[in-house]
Chain A
Amino acid sequence: MVALPGVDPSWSTYIDVPSTSGADRPGTSHRWHYLDNGADLADSTVRGTLLCVHGNPTWSYLWRTYLAAGRAAGWRVVAVDQLDMGYSERTGVFRRLADRITDLEDFAAAVGLTGPVVTVGHDWGGVVSLGYADRNREDLAGVVLTNTAIHQDADRRIPAPLRLALAPGVHGLGTRTTSAFLDVTLALARPALAPDVRRAFRDPYRTAADRQGIAHFVSDIPADPSHPSYPALTATAEGIRSLDVPVLMMWGPHDPIFSDPYLEDLARRLPRADVHRFEHAGHLVQEDADTASTALQWLAERSVGHPEPRADVPPRDDAPYVPLGRRLTDLAAGPDAARTAVAEMKPSGPPRTLSWRELDDDVAAVAAGLTALGYGPGSRVSLLVPPGVDLTVLIYACLRIGAVIVVADAGLGARGLSRAVKGSAPDVVIGIERALVAARAFGWPGRRISAAPLSPARRRALRVEASLNDLRAARPARSAVEAPAADADAAILFTSGSTGPAKGVVYTHRQLSAMRDAVAATLGLGEGASLVAGFAPFALLGPALGATSVTPAMDVTAPRTLTAQALSDAADAIDATVVFASPTALRNVLATAGALTDAGRTALGRISLLLSAGAPIPVPLLEAVQDLVPSAALHTPYGMTESLLVADIDLTGIRRASADARDGLDGAGGGVCVGLPVHGARVAVSPLDDDGAATGEATTAPGRTGEILVDAPHVKDRYFRLWRTQRESARTPPWHRTGDVGHFDAEGRLWVEGRLGHIITAASGVLTPVALEQSLETLDGVRLAALVGVGPAGTQAVVAVLETDAAGRRPALADAPLTEAARAAALRHGVGLAAVVAVPALPVDIRHNAKIDRTRIAQWCSRFLSGARAGSL
């Protein structure tokens, strides 16, 4: 073997192994090659052995990072070259799946694995390793799978690239005669492999004879039940259902072969498995992402191997659980059954309304319809329906039967939304026509139900099985539906994606109920309240709170289309006293306030509470809103998808906080004040160290800046199929680490200073962006400011990037007067600016139009300020 990047030459080992495979004549031995870090470890401290099995057409080189990481963590790692592959013997015999599982058993017995065994597999090596795991459970302590598959649905064709590779005339030419199959596979790496790594992967497959194993592997793919390897595959696929060891699946979703449906199939066979999808990675996930350290972190977290497992953290003791839909059923059965529960404003004509009785009936009907179609506990239902009566009914129907609702909003943009839906692997997509068109265009998984009735032709074209009305009309005999367990999954809500790809956030029924209670207690909302629901997801809590809710007439996929008149019409329709609206919607309400009728003004005058969340709202905007709703307390709670409510403050409170900051109250100032922790929530910060990492013990001491931590019964359960991300966010129990940075003042109020990822580490110290940005935004002509660092961590240069009225079409250094003013403002914060850049527009998130993408700005700045071609911002 040549010297290979990332491989310690001492790992490379050969062994002669007697074969017990039926493919060989009795008495045959084969020479195997494998990588083994065992010699690096003292036997007494070894936690166990990772048995790594590559697929086709790679070899043990794929696992080199596991050998290095295993050495550091006390795991022996044995990465085998399967026979006819890598540097192992070319046996001259066609080895099928059953043979390969036996081969692996022969090999493992000959090598002698130390302690508990964890099988690790990739591609077809995943199948072989699962076959081994299924049949060798005595020492089995865990299973790790990466981009593989164990089952081919009979009604689903195998992936097109494999069909091609198997096609007569293509197969031998593509896999053996030429290195096309090998080259194509290696080209799947994202980003591309370094030339020396690529050479290493190719090294054992230089001649056609070397590649015989590649060709055999491809033709051993059991595409249908008549294939000779189908029984072996099926035996394993069914056998693993009873595996009782921890399982980790790490996936690169950009895989033309082992795409998400195969992950979904495995996740259903192994429902307790931990899953992490590396959003940007592809088939060669080991090359694209740091799977080795994730796997070792997981082994430690799941207490796999020696030493023995430790005790689990005891569960929290929360308030008694009352299902989210309980108040709805109670009201429907009580004296107020005929009162309006939900209303939906129409662009013209009267609103659509349902009483509590009608709402409960409709929820029951739709729930029964869903059950009749086969959906029930654990089914994932992707809801792409705008807020309104239908969405409310669907949500409460799903919750009633234990189906998990998946909610991603159009604010993610078409690609982000598509990525989110695909990643959540829904069983069914229920959507408006536009969503179903996207479902077809992007190839979303799952069956289809349309929100509105469609013509037969349209239904066929969009593969729609039923409409919402069909579900209602089915009216099957009401079977007693068992209430879902409190700790079962209830919802997957997607983050806004303003900080990387949108993440699915899983809530259990208990946590959703806790959210309702937090909203009720913090805002004093309950039965008898009536609210304008212009802002998901708070808006969906109306029926849970027992409050009457109305959705205004607007294009909810574009919150900026809410007009002042539409808002007041909605308020008027139910005599609303509460308004939920997004900051973007409020801006448009203000912009259209001039056209408001007198009746409209009167309706808005009755509002006593207005809530707006999702992005920081500047005080001048709030003050303008106050003029429109003069009797209302204006609340701007702080939260995130993972914990919708963390802290709350109103305009009066904001003014008081600013005054306290001016008066020099300890910790007041230096960020956006978001108020006191909400009912049921504990909030603290984990102070930053000199490198800007949040490593400190949780504290609420005034003036200490750190990552904001929250602990509340309404915090998310976990991230969906992001095991590593979840582990990071929950690494200091009981806290959820928000990724935001802030501090407390002496009154216990929280001040938010920005994102952890946006911290600047200058030579003079660690710096958070928000406080100085606020000062810069008060300068003449500056609309929006971003503060970023360029250069190496610890000695970054601080740069102010200003969106100005006067900026030309292209970014440029700010003119001398603005530069001087910005520098002076920064010096008052003790910050020396390296450069001041003026730009026509700063990149902000799609959903709120307010969250600045500082990461992107910093990357652009480091090009702009180094003399490199900067491109557009």
Chain B
Amino acid sequence: MTVLVTGASGMLGRAVAEHLVASGEEVRCLQRRPSSVSGAQDVLGSITDPDAVASAVQDCRAVIHLAAKVSFTGASAEFDRTNIDGTRILLDAAHAAGVTDVVHVSSPSVAHAGSSLVGAPAGRADPAHARGDYARTKAAAELLALGRSTPAFRVAAVRPHIVWGPGDTQLVERVIERARHGRLPLLDGGTALIDTTYVDNAASAIVACLRRMHAAQGRALVVTNGEPRPIAELLGGICRAGGVEPPAWSVPGALARGAGSVIERAWLRLGRTDEPPMTRFLAEQLSTAHWFDQRDTRSVLDWRPSVSVDEGLERLAAYYR
């Protein structure tokens, strides 16, 4: 029986698909562009196209759902369409096709309203208080997905926190690019502790979840490396791995958060589609602690991260050499 992976063209989706292939699973990938995962069957199509989804999920025993619109900016409707409607279409199709297990890949931001998180538990997804369209729509999608979970159609949510690794365009490339142009400040000295997840660990946790559906069913589990670090150290590590100077200047966090709000609104009003230099969400992420209690996740998934932060940074450096 086959496992369907949606969104396998992204860094994490590809890692998950490769992980499954390596462990001997039949793997089918659904996304708009070729996934280039060797050993997997590629189906091209959009997650919002019911016909494409229905045919992709045929004969599958399990689905790992990663396809999503991930961005700091964009029109609300696009987020709704991809993240909420796409999830609903997939769940409907999977249920109809007799799929028994679904791992819905979510984000810790679905449960949090921007305050600092210190050894925090996962918390319940809360679309009403989530910050920004991405978190809001992912929160709604997670509630939708977990609401469908039954013993016969098991759904679990895995929320990897800040996934990074070689080939990452979301965090790593942005950090390196901004630092190269001197546009990456530290906020408040970058002393806030944050948890991150090296991509291989996120992938192995997601695959582990598929094995542990009896325990994980109906639950949302935050996944991280379990190695909180000051944000300045992480950014410094990424910059050094990418061969650029780490940021050495700091601005007050409150100032950056305020400026982020203004810039965000201006970008929307101007109709610009490029990434703004600062958003409120980004400023919050860069200036407040957010790290998590991993004990529950590790016991439910019977899983441990296999690549430490330091080892991940070495691999990143090797990638850029």
Contacts and interface: CB of A to CB of B under 8 A. Distances in A.
Nearest to B286: A867
A790 B193 CA distance: 10
B236 A865 contact: no
B226 A763 contact: yes
Interface in A770-810: 790-792, 794-797
A733 B227 CA distance: 42
B111 interface: no
Contact of A832 (B227, B289, B293): B227
B118 interface: yes
Interface stretch (B4-12, B26-34, B183-191): B183-191
Interface string A518-534: 00000000000000000
Contacts of A834: 193, 227-230
A23 B27 CA distance: 92
Contacts of A866: 116, 118, 192-193, 288-289
Contact of A835 (B187, B229, B288, B295): B229
Contacts of B289: 865-867
A690 to B, nearest CB: 11
Nearest to A816: B236
B192 A867 contact: yes
A867 B116 contact: yes
B39 interface: no
Contacts of B229: 834-835
B193 A797 contact: yes
A91 interface: no
Contacts of B230: 813, 834-835, 865
A68 B200 CA distance: 51
A94 interface: no
B46 to A, nearest CB: 39
B293 A865 contact: no
Nearest to A868: B116
A866 B190 CA distance: 10
Contacts of B189: 812-813
Given A813-B191, A819-B233, A867-B287, A797 B228 contact: yes
B253 A867 contact: yes
Contacts of A868: 116
Contacts of A813: 189-191, 230, 232-233
A864 interface: yes
Contact of B191 (A797, A832, A864): A864
Contacts of A796: 119
Contact of A763 (B116, B192, B236, B295): B295
B228 A792 contact: no
Given A790-B118, A867-B253, A763 B190 contact: no
A862 interface: yes
Contacts of B187: 867
Contacts of A865: 191-193, 230, 289
Contacts of A819: 233
Nearest to A811: B191
Contacts of B107: none
Contacts of B233: 813, 819, 835
Interface in B207-262: 226-230, 232-233, 236, 253
Interface in A724-767: 763
A862 B289 CA distance: 10
Interface string B161-196: 000000000000000000000000001111111000
Interface of B, helix, strand, loop or mixed by DSSP: mixed
Nearest to B292: A795
A862 B288 CA distance: 12
A866 B194 CA distance: 9
Interface in B276-312: 287-289, 291, 293-295, 310
A795 B288 contact: no
Interface string A842-873: 00000000000000000000101111101000
Nearest to A823: B310
A819 B295 CA distance: 26
B214 to A, nearest CB: 24
Contact of B119 (A792, A816, A864, A870): A792
B227 A791 contact: no
Interface string A415-431: 00000000000000000
A870 B193 CA distance: 14
Contact of B193 (A763, A812, A832, A835): A835
A388 B263 CA distance: 73
Contacts of A832: 227
Contacts of B310: 823
A294 to B, nearest CB: 30
A865 B117 CA distance: 11
A835 B229 CA distance: 6
Nearest to B237: A816
A862 B226 contact: no
A867 B226 contact: no
B31 to A, nearest CB: 35
A763 B296 CA distance: 10
Nearest to B309: A832
Contacts of A823: 310
B303 to A, nearest CB: 14
Interface in B44-81: none
Nearest to B121: A792
A790 B120 CA distance: 12
A859 to B, nearest CB: 13
Contacts of B227: 832, 834
Nearest to A792: B119
B293 A792 contact: yes
Nearest to B246: A816
B197 to A, nearest CB: 15
21 contacts: A791-B119, A791-B291, A792-B118, A795-B294, A795-B295, A797-B119, A797-B193, A797-B228, A812-B189, A813-B189, A813-B190, A813-B232, A823-B310, A832-B227, A834-B228, A835-B191, A835-B193, A835-B233, A867-B116, A867-B188, A867-B289
Given A813-B230, A823-B310, A867-B287, 18 more contacts: A763-B294, A790-B193, A791-B119, A795-B294, A795-B295, A796-B119, A797-B119, A797-B193, A812-B189, A813-B189, A816-B236, A819-B233, A834-B228, A835-B191, A867-B116, A867-B289, A868-B116, A870-B191
Interface of A: 763, 790-792, 794-797, 812-813, 816, 819, 823, 832, 834-835, 862, 864-868, 870
Interface of B: 116, 118-119, 187-193, 226-230, 232-233, 236, 253, 287-289, 291, 293-295, 310
Which 6 pairs show the lowest CB-CB distances between chains A and B? A791-B119, A867-B192, A866-B289, A867-B288, A792-B119, A795-B293
